[in-house]
Amino acid sequence: DTAVSQTPKYLVTQMGNDKSIKCEQNLGHDTMYWYKQDSKKFLKIMFSYNNKELIINETVPNRFSPKSPDKAHLNLHINSLELGDSAVYFCASSQGRRLNQPQHFGDGTRLSIL
């Protein structure tokens, strides 16, 4: 009965590869997010979707492309992975459209680039 689930939990891959991370929430929330957390624990928002519509797109390289097939899913595809992409990526969701609602986070995907 996990609320926000991400797969995979760990991802180790070579520089230049393309990879995807999946996220699903069963809370009935309308808004979903992707965050990147670096080694210093800084948590930076990357994207936010509301009912499949992109509402936040921070300054993120074009190599990162989110996709929301429905409001319960938000996937993240990364092309041409670089060393600096190594981080923990968190998916989150919140109720409604307003971006000031409490967020529920997944367990994170630990991405390591060799």
Judged by CB under 8 A, does residue 93 bind other proteins? no
Token pair of 21 as six digits: 């991370």
Q: How far is the CB of 43 from other proteins (least distance, A)?
A: 4
Other beta carbons less than 10 A from residue 107's beta carbon: 14
Question: Which of 74, 75, 106, 111 touches other proteins by CB under 8 A?
Answer: 106
Q: How far is the CB of 41 from other proteins (least distance, A)?
A: 5
- Per-residue interface string for the shown chain with other proteins, residues 37-76, x marking contact by CB under 8 A: ----xxxxx----------x--------------------
Q: Which of 1, 4, 7, 41 is nearest to 21 (CA)?
A: 7
Q: How far is CA 5 from CA 9, 69, 80, 81, 94, in A?
A: 9, 16, 25, 23, 14
Binding footprint of other proteins on the chain (CB under 8 A): 35, 41-45, 56, 90, 92, 98-100, 102-108
